[in-house]
Structure 1
Amino acid sequence: MTEHDDVHPRGIPAASSATAATSASSREARPVRNAATDDGVSVRQRLLDQALALICKRGFNGFSYRDLAERVGVKTSSIHYYFPTKEDLALEAVNEYSARIARHIASIDTALPIREQAEQYLAPWRSGCKAEQVCLAGMLAAESESLPPSVHAALQGFHRLNEEWLAGLLERAAAEVGDLPEGTTAEALAKVLFGALQNGLVSARLFGQTDRVEPAAGLLLAAVSRHGQQLAASVPHAVKTAA
């Protein structure tokens, strides 16, 4: 016997057809948490993936829940079910983006040659540049005044994740190929390099040039090479004054 039969299994009359229809309608209108789509990806994950794409392209203030709903093929009420406010969505987007980058960084074997480690770190920056894809953290940082403290903290964490890894790479390089340029520290140089990579992605979109990240990539590779001392002549003031 199914839920659509007229009699309850224990002989109690089932609800009227009108009541049953209303109940069924309510169930259909209410999203099922983490319900999967035809491709096996949960609705929540599809919303998050499309939100990441929209933020990277338009920024936090450049799209609405209606835009997101149209991309995923759901009602806006479904988005509110998973992400009650747009600020909630922004926080989850930053956390997801940070987690992906963290996994990439963690996958880099520190036993590899230093230059190879740098090349692997640069891979997503280069692919993003070719796709004219601005870093999500860089895009949101420019709109930080309209974002809550929780998102600020998540964005700061993303910056620290990258800067600390780069500083560690530079320190390992210094131990292998010699000291860093005079008057610099690994921490200061890491901030300069990370900022340069971010700018490369932004300017790639502005100029429509898919190689705009290469100058920053070249600086990083020079910094971890035996010719890294030449870097002092390239960015002396920026490195020495980086906070």
Structure 2
Amino acid sequence: MIRTQKPYVRLENITKHFGTFTALHDVSLSVPTGDVLAIIGPSGSGKSTLLRCINFIEPPETGVVTVGDVTVEGGSKVSRSELRRLRRNLGMVFQSFNLFPHMTVLRNVSLAQERVLGRSRQEADAISMQLLSRVGLADKAAQYPIRCSGGQQQRIAIARALALDPKVMLFDEPTSALDPELGLEVLAVMRELADSGMTMIVVTHEMSFAENVSDHVAIMADGRVLEYGPSRDVIRTPQSARAKQFLRAVNER
């Protein structure tokens, strides 16, 4: 379903360099509230860098990032309070799970709520159990991450991100480290989030998810957005030669 609400995330003219290498060239994108944007493209095209620029893990040299009512300019001095306000709206799930191995699954989900949101342990644990139930892992609450499969650990990471009540979820190739069956577990949770109306930006190589779950697709290559539009249109009828080359390679793999 294509939505037309006011953009909740807006990226304007984002540029990012690593030394003499230009990772992002003047990238602009908008994501409406409740929209799911899939970002696809060849390795090294700047997809993950763009995601990290949204929450200023990698501050852009130029451009403007707006999330909700928070606007931060690249290349300017950004205060800690500005970063907190920006990141308060964002949850992020990485390729690696980044769970604390010495803490139970429940503590992994509850700890940030207590530290960041000031919730009591009892309140945080109650919310954590609701979220673990949502991702199908309430029975793992007392286990340690080492006892969980890769797919389960990634679902725990999703629950941990959701526990901070983000308005937008960022996913950086969340299934790339998983075998196909475990990846399906994670994609099922992401599909449920999409169906619930969560605004999401997903860097992915999962073409079925990009075509069938996301509302819009952006194809990136060489640090630029080549094409952007409704998912099925972009994937089935790409316009640029480079986008056609990439999708042909994906389909023939």
Give the TM-score, by structure 1 length.
Answer: 0.30
Answer 1 or 2: which has greater strand percent: 2
Q: Which has the higher helix share?
A: 1
Q: Which structure would you say has the larger Rg?
A: 1
User: What is the TM-score with the length of structure 2 in the denominator?
Assistant: 0.29
